[in-house]
Amino acid sequence: MDAFFASVEQQSNPKLRGKPIAVIGSAGRTVITTRSYEARKYGVKTGMNLYEAKKLCPPLIFVIGNNEKYTHTCRELQKIYLRFTPEVEAYSIDEAFLDVTASHHLFGGPEAIGNTIKKEIKKQFGINCTAGIAPNILLAKLASDIAKPDGLKWIRPEDAGSVLECLPVKELWGIGSRFSEKLDAMGIKTCGELGRAPASLLRNKFGIIGEHLKAMGMGICNRPLHVHEEDPKSIGHSMTFDKNLSQRSAIEAEMLKLSDMVGRRARRYGFIGRKVTLTVRYPDFETFSKQTTLAGHTNHTHEIYRNAVSILDTIILKNSVRLLGVSLSSLARDQGQALLFAEQRKEKALLQAIDAVNDRHGDFKLIWASYLRNIAPPRVISPAWKPSGVRHIGVKN
């Protein structure tokens, strides 16, 4: 989708159409999540703080994101894609890969599919999207980037070389600012140059990734579509506070809330984890994390919390805290293993009862009193949200 969150907002509120708008979170400290094409002309970028954006674009209108609208639209979009092929990977909340190798002839070719999907989305939701067609997803992503907004581009195998020859390496999916700087320092600026660079040189400099880089420069990509949701590697939550925290009690209350959110999501999707990671960010943005490995797996709120606190006990905080994060990793599926101790069985029963209440009446309806004062309004949804699996968070089914 083109400027997905912003387009949805402009569609649902006609007064916003044709104007520079930016979708933001409701928290005190928030950034631009998506900006309309009208705002892009002024140089407003994703990740910018509001002050900076307003300075660049004085008429900019801030709109607090509405997660339900975006997730609902996302799910409806999946239905459209599935009319053309079962091979659909929901890559993020506004992006999907469709493998139409086996089905395109039924619909008049890939271009016809792209155009039909574009029309159908425009008709149903009033929003624009861009389709990229190519022999692999690296080039399909590139094609859609080139064709944005409201476009359709087909990079045929025989055209890949000429498209890539003069393209800056940074334009490729997987090459960010760091790699592009390092490549630049080696005299490699374009994909053409990257594709021709000696494999040994890239390997010495970047290890295994160096070989991937060369392949990318040549437009080669063998990544298959992830049609079926894969088991997650980690489940985590983090939060930037409106005001930096310095009191230990306030920090612990936030850690309990984050541990509860993590545990609840793990329980909902049937995962247990063996590593707990605590992330801390200071006001100067220095950020670090520490993790601990548990004796066994868990998804119990207080076991996650206790381990996070034990990590905190090993840290001498040198300043107040801007952000805290709690994450559970080394995940396994919860096979309902018997719990050894009566205390654990009791806690499990308690958590099941709490989860049942919250499933029925909404998140945070039944919580621990120690973080009662910490319930913040929901943050704007991560664009990496997926319509199924554990990334499906914070929104009612």
Partner DNA sequence: TCTGGGGTCCTAGGACCC
Q: For residue 137, state whether it binds DNA (rule: CB under 7 A).
A: no
Quick one: 136 or 277, whose CB is closer to DNA?
A: 277
Judged by beta carbon, residue 53 or residue 160, the one nearer DNA is 53
Task: State in angstroms the smallest separation of the CB of 49 from DNA.
Answer: 3
Minimum distance from residue 108 beta carbon to DNA (Å): 28
Binding test (CB under 7 A) with DNA, winner from 35, 265, 267, 297: 265
Q: Tell me which amino acid residue 253 is.
A: A
15, 79, 178, 373: which one binds DNA (CB under 7 A): 178
> What's the Cα-to-Cα distance from 150 to each of 73, 118, 130, rounded to whole Å?
18, 8, 5
- Note whether 283 and 340 are within 8 A (CB): no
66, 116, 190, 292: residue in contact with DNA (rule CB under 7 A): 292
Task: Determine the interface stretch with DNA among 80-88, 116-124, 191-199, 382-390 (rule: CB under 7 A).
Answer: 382-390
Longest distance between any two alpha carbons in the chain, whole Å = 68
Structure tokens at 67: 């997660």
Angle between helices 248-269 and 301-312 (to 10 degrees): 140
In the region spanning residues 341 to 370, those forming contacts with DNA, defined by CB under 7 A, are: none
Q: Which window, 77-85, 148-156, 186-194, 230-238, contacts DNA (CB under 7 A)?
A: 230-238
Yes or no: say if 279 and 325 are a contact pair by the CB < 8 Å rule. Answer: yes
Count of residues that bind DNA according to CB under 7 A: 66
Active site residues: 95
Distances (CA, A) of 54 to 181, 244, 250, 267: 29, 24, 33, 42
CB of 226 to DNA, least distance (A): 9
Least distance CB 105 / DNA (angstroms) = 29
Q: Is 115 helix (H, G, I), strand (E, B) or coil?
A: helix
Asked if residue 98 lies in contact with residue 79, where contact means CB atoms within 8 angstroms, the answer is no
Candidate list 239, 250, 308, 321; residue touching DNA; CB under 7 A = 239
Cis peptide before 110 (omega within 30 of 0): no
CB 33 within 8 A of CB 5: yes
Residue 146 vs 209, nearer CB to DNA: 209
Per CB under 7 A, 7 contacts DNA = no
Query: Taking CB under 7 A as the rule, does residue 293 contact DNA?
Result: yes
- From 101-109, 112-120, 360-368, 387-395, span contacting DNA (CB under 7 A): 387-395
Residue 63 makes CB contacts below 8 A (sequence gap 6+) with: 6, 9, 13, 16, 21, 22, 23, 24
Q: With respect to DNA, which residue has the nearer C-beta, 185 or 342?
A: 185
Identify the DSSP state of 131.
E
- State the first-to-last Cα distance of the chain, in angstroms, to the nearest integer: 22
Q: How far is the CB of 357 from DNA (least distance, A)?
A: 21
Question: What are 201's two structure tokens?
Answer: 């040189």
Q: Which is nearer to DNA, 157 or 296 (CB)?
A: 296
Cα four-point dihedral sign 288, 293, 299, 301: negative
Burial (CB count <10 Å: 0-12, 13-18, 19+), residue 185: exposed
Sites for DNA among residues 54-73 (CB under 7 A): 54
User: Contacting DNA (CB under 7 A), which of 95, 111, 120, 334?
Assistant: 95
Q: What residues from 184 to 223 belong to the interface with DNA (CB under 7 A)?
A: 207-209
Binding mask 31-50 for DNA (x = CB under 7 A): x-x------------xx-xx
Amino acid, res. 40: R
Q: Is 234 in the site for DNA (CB under 7 A)?
A: yes
Cα–Cα distance between 187 and 193 in angstroms, integer? 9
Q: Which residue in this structure is represented by tokens 């000696």?
A: 198
Q: What would the two tokens of residue 197 be?
A: 């660079």
Span 310-339, contacts to DNA by CB under 7 A? 323, 325, 327, 329-330
Closest approach of DNA to the CB of residue 225, in Å: 14
Q: Which of 95, 93, 8, 96 is nearest to 392 (CA)?
A: 93
Interface ranges with DNA (CB under 7 A):
25, 27-31, 33, 46-47, 49-51, 54, 91-95, 141, 172-180, 207-209, 232-240, 261, 265, 274-275, 277, 284-285, 288-293, 323, 325, 327, 329-330, 379-380, 382-384, 390-391, 393
